[in-house]
Copies of this chain bind each other. A is one copy, B any other.
Amino acid sequence: MSNVVFHRALTGQRWDGVEVLAYKEAGTTFQSVTRQVLFEGDPALCVQLRYFEVGPGGHTTLERHQHVHLVWISRGRGRVYVGGEFFELAKGDVLSIPTLTWHQFRAPLNSPLGFHCLVAADRDKPSLPSDQDWRELTQSREAAAFLRR
Interface string of A112-147 (1 = CB under 8 A from B): 000010111000000000000000000000000000
Known: A47-B47, A98-B42. A6 touches B87 (CB 8 A): yes
Q: Are A96 and B15 closer than 8 Å at their CB atoms?
A: no
Name A's interface SS: strand
Contact of A95 among B4, B83, B94 (CB under 8 A): B4
In the assembled complex, the CB of A49 is this many whole angstroms from the nearest CB of chain B, namely 6
Closest to A69 in B: B45
Contact of A6 among B13, B49, B93 (CB under 8 A): B93
Q: Are B2 and A99 closer than 8 Å at their CB atoms?
A: yes
Instruction: Please indicate the chain B residues that have their CB under 8 angstroms from the CB of A43 in the complex.
Output: 99
A67 CB–B CB distance under 8 Å: yes
In the assembled complex, the CB of A142 is this many whole angstroms from the nearest CB of chain B, namely 17
A107 CB–B CB distance under 8 Å: no
Chain A stretch 64-105: residues in CB contact (< 8 A) with chain B: 66-70, 72-73, 82-83, 85, 87, 90-101
A24 CB–B CB distance under 8 Å: no
A21 CB–B CB distance under 8 Å: no
Known: A1-B101, A4-B83, A101-B1. A96 touches B42 (CB 8 A): yes
5 additional A-B pairs beyond A4-B87, A4-B97, A6-B96, beta carbons within 8 Å, are A1-B98, A2-B68, A45-B69, A45-B119, A47-B47
